[in-house]
Amino acid sequence: MMTVRLIAHTPEPEKVVAAAAKLCYSDAHITDLLDGLDEEKTARFLTMLSDLGHASPIEHASFTFGIEGVSRTLLAQITRHRIASFSVQSQRYVRLEDFRYVIPPEIEAIPEARAQFIASMNDDAKKYLELVQTLENAHTARLMAEGLNEKAARAKASKQANEDARFVLPNACETKMVMTMNCRSLQNFFNLRCCNRAQWEIRAVADEMLRLVMPIAPHIFASAGPRCLVGPCPEGRMCCGQQAEVRAKYAKLKEEAV
């Protein structure tokens, strides 16, 4: 099951961003930046930044998420957001004895397709572990012949086996990661990945991330979500045609979050 947790963030992120904005638009000294920044003045600075389209100050605040129960397919998409930091569980160093996978909803909804998918995953898991064992045994024998004792040879061979056996693992295989983004990158992420045209899995992750950051930085993320929340759909002929429903969805999400 997909899980997204907010595990760390910049303390008082909106106040930090407001202080950066204050520096840009006043003659305040560094030592005075936080003086007088109550909730009302902070909100005013953030609204001004949004109205002006001045996004660079929000880069001073960042959020770190723990994400698990997602597929390697999602990993390929999420790491395209290059202004972010990722730490991902390695299939090279972690042997998947407990093989878990993500079932796409469209497959889950069709009993015959679901049965075929699960059979394929079970076969993949079996073949993976068989290949791991074959490689480990062969590497152990070679390393012992080169002079290592059996325990040392087995330990080294195990890592070598994992490295090559992972090539048979499917995109559905589960992974987990820690991801950190600054608020400007998050805004871009939400613009792209909350859109109805985004792939279902990364859209679900994006929605949950937005739900987690809203209570902490409601002014920064007031307009966060797909671009059609604040203007026409940018997708042209590929538009989903559901702008009213999308706006209602994110209005409700934000209302519930804060």
Catalytic (active-site) positions: 193
Residue type, 183: C
Contact by Cβ (8 Å): 135, 149: no
Residue appearing with tokens 């723990």: 66
Q: Name every residue whose Cβ is closer than 8 Å to that of residue 207 and which is 6 or more positions away in sequence.
A: 194, 253
Residue appearing with tokens 């002006």: 52
Q: Name every residue whose Cβ is closer than 8 Å to that of residue 106 and which is 6 or more positions away in sequence.
A: 113
Residue appearing with tokens 């008082």: 12
Q: b vs e for 28-53, b when ≥16 Cβ sit within 10 Å of the residue's Cβ? A: eeeeebeeebeeeebeebbeebbeee
What gap in Å lies between CA 42 and CA 102, rounded to an integer? Answer: 42
Contact by Cβ (8 Å): 236, 193: no
